[in-house]
Amino acid sequence: SQQGEEDPQALSIQEGENATMNCSYKTSINNLQWYRQNSGRGLVHLILIRSNEREKHSGRLRVTLDTSKKSSSLLITASRAADTASYFCATDASSGNQFYFGTGTSLTVIP
């Protein structure tokens, strides 16, 4: 399987702290995306980073991509209780048509 993996599987932090989660994948990609999922609900897109980009910001989110290591990280700064959710990375196959999701990081932000 070409499925990616997130690390850690679970993360618990205090409100106001930063949360970092990592994603590793196995094949060449066109882009990598991060999604958020509140318990049992549909996924919501957070940020997309292309293979020729190394870093991208969106509000309190910072994503880095290292294609040589086939890895990405998502940093959420100044976390809030409302950030409690599962976070998934998704990569596309070189054709751009098939997507592979990681197994997710469950983030709990304690008020």
Partner 1 sequence: EAQVTQNPRYLITVTGKKLTVTCSQNMNHEYMSWYRQDPGLGLRQIYYSMNVEVTDKGDVPEGYKVSRKEKRNFPLILESPSPNQTSLYFCASGLAGKPQYFGPGTRLLVL
Q: List contacts with partner 1 (CB under 8 A).
A: 1-3, 30-31, 33, 35, 40-45, 48, 88, 90, 92, 96-104
The least distance separating partner 1 from the CB of residue 14, rounded to whole angstroms, comes to: 27
Minimum distance of partner 1 from residue 74's CB (angstroms): 15
Q: Which is nearer to partner 1, 84 or 102 (CB)?
A: 102
The amino acid sitting at 12 is S
Residue closer to partner 1, measured from CB, 15 or 22: 22
Peptide bond before 111: cis, by omega within 30 degrees of 0?
A: no
Residues 6+ apart with CB under 8 A from 5: 23, 24, 102, 103
Choice between 1 and 68, CB closer to partner 1:
1
Q: How many helices (H) and strands (E) does the chain have?
A: 0, 11
